[in-house]
Every structure is written in structure tokens, then in C-alpha cells.
Structure 1
């Protein structure tokens, strides 16, 4: 079981479903959420700047299509040296897109371990357990 997961998605129903499925599967002790990439980066900034005693998530479920800062912009920022001390966190892109170019593009980011289609399911979590080495 993971200690902490961050779910980044602008849809409150998707976030609620993520929390419910992850809790039901006993996949993580704690689930935190962000409505877009900017909120997620603010969370990591608070860790880097030691503004609060926040934990580093062990896994991020990241949507691609969001307002303010989408998943691609988050990945571009998170891949920079500024986030070097925290960007070892594994990321699973969880998106409704069916564009194969998005899947290929996600492979350019070393922290992205998989690209899965919404909605999240307990079978997905079982599959991810082997990739994350719980």
C-alpha cells in the first residue's frame, strides 16, 4: 500500500471516483487532489520551499485536458531542474483521450510509467502494483 497519492483532474466526479476506487482497493493510505497542473506544482513548491511539512506523493494520477495548466504543461514544468528533488515521483497519465500521439508523447517523460484510459478501476490498480513495487 502506498502512503500518499496525488490525483490531478479538473472534474470533481473523476476525483471522487479516484478516491473511492483507491480507498476500496486499499491502494493508498491518503489521497490528495489538485484541480489542475498549477495547483499540483504549488503543492510541490511547498515541499521544496519547506513551507509546510507535506509529504511527497509516491504516485500521481494526471489528467491531460484541464484549464489553467494542463497535464502537458505540468509535465514540462515538473521535468525541469527546479523540481529535481521531487520529480522522482512516478506518474500515471489517466486520460479520456484516444489520440495515439498523446500516448507516444507521454513516453518522453521519464517519470511517466503508464498511460491509462479513464475511469480508474480496481483492475488498473492491481496492474499498477507490479509496476510500482508496493
Structure 2
């Protein structure tokens, strides 16, 4: 079981379903949510600030990321998150969770070393089992 997961999606129903499936499968102890990439980057900046003040703050081991969101979408988030500014978080795995089936998006996801998979919404129990095995 993971300690913490971050779900980044602008759709409250998707976030609610994500939480329900993750809880049902006992996949993570804690689920944090952000409604867009900018909110998620702000969350990681808060962790960095706290650690600079010698406070130990847990950070997610896995991120579920939607691609199409207002304010800051998934690709833009990945561009920022994979930069040296966030290098202390580059061990965090990212799973793109999207409703798109565009082969170009699948190819684009492979450019980011932290992206371990590209799955279609909605998240399911079998997806979590698959990810559990993949991350071991």
C-alpha cells in the first residue's frame, strides 16, 4: 500500500470515483487532490518550503494526472514538474489518466521519464492491481 497519492483532475466526479476505487482497493493511505496542474505545482512548492524549514512533510509516491484541464493542463504540468526546479520529486511516478485515445498523446507521454503508464478513464480495481504489480 502506498502512503500517499495525488490525483490531478478538474472533474469532481472523476476525483470522487478515483478516491472510492483507491479506498476500496486499499491502494493508498491518503489521497490528495488538485483541480489542475497549477494547483498541484503549488502543493509541491509548499512541500519544498516546509522542507527548507526542516519540516518533514510526506509527499505522494504516485500521481494520477489528467491531460485536459483549465488553468494548467497535464502536459504543461509535466513540463514544469520534470524541470530541475522540482528535481527532488523526480522519483515520484506519474500515471496519465485520460479520456483521450490519441496515439500522439501516448507518444508524447513517453518523453517524460516519470510517466510509467497511460491509462483510460475511469480508474478501475483491475488498473490498480496492474499498477501495484508494476510498481513492485
TM-score clears 0.5? yes
Deviation (angstroms), 1:53? 5.0
Deviation (angstroms), 1:34? 0.1
Deviation (angstroms), 1:80? 0.5
Alpha-carbon distance between aligned partners in 2 of 1:87 and 1:42, rounded to the nearest angstrom: 16
The correspondence of residues 31-50 of structure 1 with structure 2, limited to 5 A, is 31-50=31-50
Task: Specify the alignment match of 2:71 in structure 1.
Answer: 68
Task: Specify the alignment match of 1:88 in structure 2.
Answer: 91
Alpha-carbon distance between aligned partners in 2 of 1:93 and 1:49, rounded to the nearest angstrom: 27
Alignment size in residue pairs: 133
The structure with the largest helix share of the pair is: 2
In the TM superposition, structure 1's runs of 4+ consecutive aligned residues that sit over 2 Å from their partners are 51-54
Task: Specify the alignment match of 2:126 in structure 1.
Answer: 123
Residues 9 and 36, structure 1, Cα contact 8 Å, conserved in 2: yes
Task: Specify the alignment match of 2:135 in structure 1.
Answer: 132
Deviation readout 1:37-83 (Å, 9 max, x if unpaired): 00000010011111775311000000000000000000000010000
Q: Aligned match of 1:113 in 94, 110, 116?
A: 116
Q: Which runs of 5+ in 2 are unaligned?
A: none
TM-score, with length taken from structure 2: 0.95
Residues 46 and 54, structure 1, Cα contact 8 Å, conserved in 2: no
Deviation (angstroms), 1:87? 2.2
Alpha-carbon distance between aligned partners in 1 of 2:32 and 2:56, rounded to the nearest angstrom: 14
Aligned-residue RMSD, C-alpha: 1.1
Moved more, 52-61 or 39-48: 52-61
Alpha-carbon distance between aligned partners in 1 of 2:91 and 2:40, rounded to the nearest angstrom: 15
Alpha-carbon distance between aligned partners in 2 of 1:114 and 1:26, rounded to the nearest angstrom: 20
